[in-house]
Each structure stands twice: as structure tokens, then as C-alpha cells.
Amino acid sequence: MAFSITPLPYDDTALAPAVSAQTLSFHHGKHHQAYIDKTNAAIEGTDLADKSMEEVIAAARGSNQGLFNNSAQSWNHGFYWHSMAADGGSASDELAAMIDQAFGSADELVKQLQDRGAGHFASGWVWLAEKDGKLSIEETHDGDTLADSDFNPLLTIDVWEHAYYLDHQNARPAYLKAVTEGKLNWAFASENLARGTTWAYPA
């Protein structure tokens, strides 16, 4: 079974000006596609060929860095596309209550996501995650992922330069502000929380 790139769940202009159609054409059509292609090439003819993306990631962690990087980045990007929406909407009552408990308010959560993303050294990912009924902001570096972790990721923000450089140049804080203030997909986060298990990369 070969993996496919996750289709964008919106028109390529839907996130502008936070994320432009030009950025999506490179980020989705080239970066994500390259990770998928390299993952497929690495598992072809092996006992991982019929496994889920999450199983590939878990098998590769610590034993095959190249396959881990490409499969984890494939998963992260698929999750990232769904973490944004043209209209971010509102969190469910359950998620809203947990945000208030963990961060004091939705505005404070957004501020902390911006601060953690801006302060993240070099490339990586910033996540809103749930574990044991509590929310936290987590960071992973480079191609690492929460896909095979003890956390249930609810949302992620890509802080690799290719996620924002065409639109915001080196101003990562401007990108984070634009994405977190209106483009985070709270319906997706609410679904991930209600399901209680980690999102599965589409087969």
C-alpha cells in the first residue's frame, strides 16, 4: 500500500494572507509530496509496506532515521493542513473548559502558542496536546512528531521556515500571529479531543 499526499481540506486561497496560495503550492505540493515519495520508496517491498503511517513511524523511530524523518514529516504535514481553516470557528464546550483550566483563557492559550513558536530554536513544531485529561503546549524539533507518543495531539503549527518565508520572510512571530488569530481549526481540535485517540493518517 503506497501512501498518498493528504488533500488540502480547503481552497488554496482560503488561508490568505496568513498562508498564501503560493506558500501552499510549495509547502503542500512539493515539501509534503517529497516526504510521501521518500516514505513510499523506503517501505516498498518490505514488511512495512502494508502498515499504517503511524506503525511505520513507530517502527522507524530509533532504527531508521531516514525513514523516520520522512514518515513523521508526512504525518505532521497531514495533521497541520487540518489544524488550520478559513474560519477557525469555536472550541467545543469540553475543549473550551479545558483551555480555561489549563491556560486561564483562550486568549492566553493563543499568546502562549505564539510565544512558544517564536522561541522555538530552529525548525520544528508546536502542538496543543492532551494527556490524562489535561492540556499542554508541546514542542518537537526538526522532523519529530507526537504521532506515536503518549500525547493526543489536538492542533499543530509548523515553524519550519518553508511554512512562512514566502509570506512573512524571517518574521516568524508575524506568521504565528496570523495563523493563531483566526486560522486555527478549533472544530478539528474538538474532534481530536472527543475521539480520545491520535488522529490517523488517511490510508
User: What is the rounded end-to-end Cα distance, in angstroms, of the chain?
Assistant: 8
Which alpha helices (DSSP H) does 61-198 contain, by range?
65-82, 93-103, 106-119, 165-168, 172-180, 186-195
The answer, yes or no, to whether residue 36 has pLDDT greater than 90, is yes
Task: Write out the three cell numbers for 11.
Answer: 481552497
CATH value of 21-82 in 2.40.128.720, 1.10.287.3510, 1.10.287.990, 3.30.390.30: 1.10.287.990
CATH architecture of 93-195: 3-Layer(bab) Sandwich (3.55)
Domain ranges across the chain: 21-82, 93-195
Confidence of residue 138 (pLDDT cuts 50, 70, 90): very high
Share of the chain above pLDDT 70, in %: 100
What is the tens place of the pLDDT at every residue in 139-191?
999 999 999 999 999 999 999 999 999 999 999 999 999 999 999 999 999 99
The answer, yes or no, to whether residue 40 has pLDDT greater than 80, is yes
What is the tens place of the pLDDT at every residue in 92-132?
999 999 999 999 999 999 999 999 999 999 999 999 999 99
CA separation for the pair 7, 202 (Å, rounded): 10
Average pLDDT, the chain: 97
Confidence of residue 41 (pLDDT cuts 50, 70, 90): very high
